[in-house]
A and B are shown apart, each in its own frame.
Chain A
Amino acid sequence: MFEARPAPSASNFLYSMTARLALFRPVEALPLRGTVNLQFLWTIRQSLCYDISMSSLSHLRALEAESIHILREVAAEFAKPVMLYSIGKDSSVMLRLAQKAFHPGKIPFPLLHIDTTYKFKEMIEFRDWYPASIGADLRVYVNREARDAGANPVSLGTSKCCGLLKTRALLNALSEGGYDAAFGGARRDEEKSRAKERIYSFRDQYGQWDPKNQRPELWNVFNSRIDKGQSIRVFPLSNWTEIDVWHYIHLENITVVPLYFAKPRPMVVRGGSLIPMEHGVIPLLPGEAPQMVMCRMRSLGCTPCTGAIRSEAGSVPQIIEELLRFRRSERENRIIDHDQEGSMELKKREGYF
């Protein structure tokens, strides 16, 4: 069900400001490793202004323009759109693009967070202040029934747990809210079945995807015709890569959850994985105990199912630098994608994003 949300109050706001000040030092103020050329970073920002003398747009600006076009198209043609807000870096970029698309107006649709209740505390804190601080209307939905029955990834297995707390919750939220179009921040470079998905991903009345029968999608002309009960998922960031997202966050100075930045955190080290112990769902093996490890999250999910990575990257440029040296994909630390070969496609067919 949709969670009752406190109206933004003064104390909330106060929290948010202090949280913000404490957690987010501006990028420029962070000590960079190696030679730091602040002047240089500044030049980058400056050169970001649209320059009419440029014959074409740089790839980031071209991606931005494409995404804004998609956001506006959906807002114009659908009766009740909603934006799925997962609190992560992709959602943060999507949210900024929505601000840009409708400026100086407000974002003409609500945000929706599907809360599995296993998210990191820092994510929830961020969720509770950031969207409100930019005037967005956020709704939160929890599959209370499943949660009250004790759904968790250890007792149910990750696949069933996701099915109930994410997919089922999402489908319920969309139908209870009467939403006919839902934006998601998924990118095609994340996973091989995503690479196959249209920007407008048509879903039947059960929210299911039929990958073998997708509508042709030509140019930037989108077919928004659906029957009652059917809906579409829309992916404005389809053509962005992980690096594009970070680069844009850097250029635009977008605030993101501090979990992305390295600091010492209590982790259980098991094999090569760093397991956060926040919700205490994962049973400790004999002899295991959390220890402080310098690490960060590369992608944000539920605490029992998202591993951290060892990292020293404390700023966005450092994250980009780290990514450049990586040889492994971002979803590798997600347990759910690996349950089975082609498991993301199965989840999507069932209605997952």
Chain B
Amino acid sequence: MIAAETNPESLSAESLSIDEFLARELNKELLRFSTAGSVDDGKSTLIGRLLYDARGIYEDQLDSIRKSKVNRSSGAIDFSLLTDGLRAEREQGITIDVAYRYFSTPRRKFIIADTPGHEQYTRNMATGASTAQLAIVLVDARNGVLPQTRRHATISSLLGIPRIVLAVNKMDLVNYSREVFEKIRADFLHFSRDFEFEEIQPIPISALEGENVARRGVRMPWYDGPALLEYLEAAPVSAATNSSPLRFPVQYVIRPNQHFRGYAGQIASGTLRVGDPVTVLPSGQSSRIASIATFDGELQSAHAPMSITVTLEDERDISRGDMLVHPEEQPHAARRFEANLVWMAEDPLAAGRSLLLKHTAQQVSARVHSIESRLDIHTMERKPAGALSLNDIGAVRIDASRPIFFDRYRDNRLTGAFILIDPLTNGTVGAGMIQSAIQRRALDLGHVTPEERYERNGHGPALLALANGPLALRLERRLFDHGCQVLAVAPGTHSATLYAAGLIVISPWFADARAIDLNRLPLPKDEDAAADAIMAYLEQNGTLATDRFSGGEGI
């Protein structure tokens, strides 16, 4: 985006030498923002216009849209074609997936995520919004705040985006009316009153005409606020994560030789100095930072979001997924927690579903214990629900197979976030934002529940029918070594009791309808391979908690 990086005029007008230019570039901050709003409110057009006015578009790209067969706009250039880059998007005139675009001004470099408005593509909108520091919520002046505007504003709020620009667009179609603008502004402020945005900046614009986009227009003299670009250049970029508690998730262990054992990762928040005492989670062991090693030499200190490698003063058993923190500022550690969830799969989510949960550098298996509520986008009320459908937003309780170390999402956008993965399709099906750990309450003094047993054992109960005796013994041993409560028994033993106790029971046959008939599985001849296949099968069907990592640790 050269043209945008610069503004050729500004180079010559301010007569910057290339050296001065490069020096200035070095101090530029990065601001990531996303668009949000209902379909056809003008998101793509606005971004196209912004790029055009900020000179983030090359002439050959402009030529190619000028020549394009499609032009749905009433202007000479259909600016939405600048971001709607997929063939299907251009053919249908809609945005299907996020487009990332880049431009910069002398002060900042911007990463834009232009997101789709259609409800069916909400997950793509969430993708674009998850890393944004600011969201532009567009509203068509003729239509006002629509359900989809609410959904997107809600997701933006849940995702912790601190700043919102409420861009009331297509003002040209309502005669640049102040009343229309004020009404939409009041509606939006009313509906979003409970959201925790730090700031909402309403701006009346015409994306098509460029009014109040890159610079203030003349058609709305009653508006005395900033143009969109002015606001984007000035909005504070919060750097609060440096003063927050240290969170250093270990991503990778670097061990080039016996003398060096480094823990590599990106600091999620906080600052770390050589000599700092640290606690290693989950083991709870303590040590001190011996060095911060980088390719460019050793550092005395480092802060978020730097990617670094540290060594410790003591030999500690640390692997990927562990976290280094300062002893006096520890995160929550819990297997059970409550979270806001955006459900992103076609098949609805019901309580009891087993999924994989990825959080920082750790992956654990987890169960959705219960669905506490579902947000009604129309009334903005949280209502009890039995399931979450595609694009629903709800509050859920999650039981992870082992404790994870987290902060509340509102306190930390990286250590408070997780994704849910369907172990069968491998799809990313949920985006979660942790609200709180669930404390044991008086209620928990009752009977131990199957969920609690699952949580403790790392597996559910199962009755496995397997006629091959030697294989049954091999499997029993394999499961035992895996940490399971398992017993191979003769037929007719009180298997129902063992099942209730949470055990995995192996026997040639069962009278119980809950039994899984392994005899029907196409198993390899080799016993080890057959046991492997059964283990894999038990992971797939959710009996075993799957939290293996698929790759090596360290070099």
**Interface, chain A (partner B; CB < 8 A):** 32, 34-35, 37, 40-41, 43-44, 47-50, 52, 55-66, 68-69, 72-73, 75-79, 99-106, 108, 188-189, 191-196, 198, 211-212, 214-221, 223-227, 238-239, 241-243, 247, 250-251, 317-318, 320-321, 323-329, 332, 341-342, 345-346
Scoring B59, B88, B100, B266 by chain A CB atoms within 10 A of each residue's CB, the highest score goes to B100
A65–B123 CB distance below 8 A:
no
| Docked pose: A40 CA to B252 CA in angstroms | 38
**Is residue B11 within 8 Å, beta carbon to beta carbon, of the partner chain?**
yes
Interface string of B52-80 (1 = CB under 8 A from A): 00000011110010001000000000000
Which bracket fits the contact residues of B? 35 or more
**Is residue B303 within 8 Å, beta carbon to beta carbon, of the partner chain?**
yes
| Docked pose: A341 CA to B417 CA in angstroms | 39
| Docked pose: A227 CA to B426 CA in angstroms | 8
| Docked pose: A220 CA to B130 CA in angstroms | 9
Scoring A40, A241, A318 by chain B CB atoms within 10 A of each residue's CB, the highest score goes to A241
**Is residue B439 within 8 Å, beta carbon to beta carbon, of the partner chain?**
no
Interface string of B102-143 (1 = CB under 8 A from A): 100000110100000000000110110011000000000000
A77–B550 CB distance below 8 A:
yes
| Docked pose: A48 CA to B99 CA in angstroms | 31
Scoring A73, A77, A247 by chain B CB atoms within 10 A of each residue's CB, the highest score goes to A77
A103–B102 CB distance below 8 A:
no
Pick from B27, B88, B271: contact of A212, CB below 8 A.
Answer: B88
| Docked pose: A188 CA to B359 CA in angstroms | 26
Chain A residue nearest to B426 (CB atoms) is A225
Chain A residues closer than 8 Å to B427, beta-carbon distance = 215, 223
Chain B residues closer than 8 Å to A34, beta-carbon distance = 17-18
A221–B359 CB distance below 8 A:
yes
| Docked pose: A52 CA to B242 CA in angstroms | 10
**B347 smallest CB distance to A (angstroms):** 15
**B14 smallest CB distance to A (angstroms):** 13
A193–B418 CB distance below 8 A:
no
**B47 smallest CB distance to A (angstroms):** 11
**Is residue B493 within 8 Å, beta carbon to beta carbon, of the partner chain?**
no
Pick from A40, A318, A328: contact of B23, CB below 8 A.
Answer: A40
B26–A47 CB distance below 8 A:
yes
| Docked pose: A318 CA to B21 CA in angstroms | 12
Chain A residues closer than 8 Å to B252, beta-carbon distance = 72, 75-76, 102
Asked whether A65 and B17 contact (CB < 8 A) given A189-B101, A219-B414, the answer is no
Pick from A56, A73, A325, A328: contact of B59, CB below 8 A.
Answer: A328
| Docked pose: A196 CA to B68 CA in angstroms | 19
| Docked pose: A192 CA to B537 CA in angstroms | 42
| Docked pose: A320 CA to B242 CA in angstroms | 32
A64–B25 CB distance below 8 A:
no
**Is residue B85 within 8 Å, beta carbon to beta carbon, of the partner chain?**
yes
Asked whether A48 and B26 contact (CB < 8 A) given A189-B102, A195-B85, the answer is yes
B residues 145-200 touching A (CB-CB < 8 Å): none
| Docked pose: A102 CA to B252 CA in angstroms | 9
| Docked pose: A211 CA to B87 CA in angstroms | 10
B242–A216 CB distance below 8 A:
no
Asked whether A58 and B254 contact (CB < 8 A) given A65-B266, A65-B305, the answer is no
**Is residue B49 within 8 Å, beta carbon to beta carbon, of the partner chain?**
no
Asked whether A44 and B19 contact (CB < 8 A) given A195-B83, A216-B431, A332-B60, the answer is yes
**A312 smallest CB distance to B (angstroms):** 13
Interface-forming stretch among B257-265, B281-289, B375-383, B525-533?
B257-265
**B130 smallest CB distance to A (angstroms):** 4
Interface-forming stretch among B294-302, B397-405, B444-452, B475-483?
B294-302
**Interface, chain B (partner A; CB < 8 A):** 1-3, 5-6, 8, 11, 17-23, 25-30, 58-61, 64, 68, 82-83, 85-88, 90, 96-102, 108-109, 111, 123-124, 126-127, 130-131, 237, 239, 242, 251-252, 254-256, 260, 262, 264-266, 271, 293-296, 299-303, 305-307, 309, 320, 344, 356, 358-361, 413-414, 417-419, 421, 423, 426-428, 431, 549-553, 555
B242–A43 CB distance below 8 A:
no
A106–B555 CB distance below 8 A:
yes
21 CB-based A-B contacts, threshold 8 Å: A32-B18, A63-B30, A69-B307, A73-B251, A76-B552, A76-B553, A101-B264, A104-B262, A104-B293, A193-B85, A195-B85, A195-B99, A196-B85, A218-B126, A219-B414, A221-B359, A225-B426, A241-B102, A242-B2, A324-B8, A346-B87
B431–A218 CB distance below 8 A:
yes
Asked whether A220 and B266 contact (CB < 8 A) given A195-B101, A239-B102, the answer is yes
Chain A residues closer than 8 Å to B421, beta-carbon distance = 223, 225
| Docked pose: A101 CA to B293 CA in angstroms | 11
Pick from B2, B108, B419, B552: contact of A218, CB below 8 A.
Answer: B419
**B414 smallest CB distance to A (angstroms):** 6
Pick from B59, B86, B102, B555: contact of A196, CB below 8 A.
Answer: B86
B18–A321 CB distance below 8 A:
yes
**B261 smallest CB distance to A (angstroms):** 11
Scoring A196, A242, A325 by chain B CB atoms within 10 A of each residue's CB, the highest score goes to A196
| Docked pose: A243 CA to B18 CA in angstroms | 13
Asked whether A106 and B256 contact (CB < 8 A) given A56-B29, A56-B237, the answer is yes
Chain A residues closer than 8 Å to B29, beta-carbon distance = 56, 58-59
A224–B86 CB distance below 8 A:
no
**B520 smallest CB distance to A (angstroms):** 22
| Docked pose: A86 CA to B177 CA in angstroms | 55
A221–B255 CB distance below 8 A:
no
**B10 smallest CB distance to A (angstroms):** 10
A78–B19 CB distance below 8 A:
no
A341–B68 CB distance below 8 A:
yes
A326–B426 CB distance below 8 A:
no
| Docked pose: A225 CA to B548 CA in angstroms | 11
| Docked pose: A47 CA to B1 CA in angstroms | 24
**B359 smallest CB distance to A (angstroms):** 7
Chain A residues closer than 8 Å to B130, beta-carbon distance = 218-219
Asked whether A223 and B428 contact (CB < 8 A) given A56-B29, A241-B5, the answer is yes
Chain B residue nearest to A48 (CB atoms) is B26
B22–A221 CB distance below 8 A:
no
| Docked pose: A345 CA to B18 CA in angstroms | 36
B60–A69 CB distance below 8 A:
no
A226–B426 CB distance below 8 A:
yes
| Docked pose: A226 CA to B426 CA in angstroms | 6
| Docked pose: A31 CA to B439 CA in angstroms | 68
**B67 smallest CB distance to A (angstroms):** 9
B307–A65 CB distance below 8 A:
yes
A49–B296 CB distance below 8 A:
yes
| Docked pose: A242 CA to B2 CA in angstroms | 7
| Docked pose: A242 CA to B224 CA in angstroms | 37
Q: Enumerate the 5 nearest inter-chain pairs by beta-carbon distance, A residue then B residue, closest first.
A: A192-B85, A68-B307, A218-B130, A225-B426, A55-B239
Asked whether A215 and B428 contact (CB < 8 A) given A73-B251, A195-B83, the answer is yes
Chain A residues closer than 8 Å to B17, beta-carbon distance = 34-35, 37
**A331 smallest CB distance to B (angstroms):** 9
Chain B residues closer than 8 Å to A61, beta-carbon distance = 306
Chain B residues closer than 8 Å to A218, beta-carbon distance = 126-127, 130-131, 417, 419, 428, 431
**A64 smallest CB distance to B (angstroms):** 7
| Docked pose: A198 CA to B98 CA in angstroms | 9
| Docked pose: A226 CA to B252 CA in angstroms | 20
Asked whether A243 and B1 contact (CB < 8 A) given A195-B100, A341-B68, the answer is yes
B85–A103 CB distance below 8 A:
no
| Docked pose: A234 CA to B302 CA in angstroms | 27
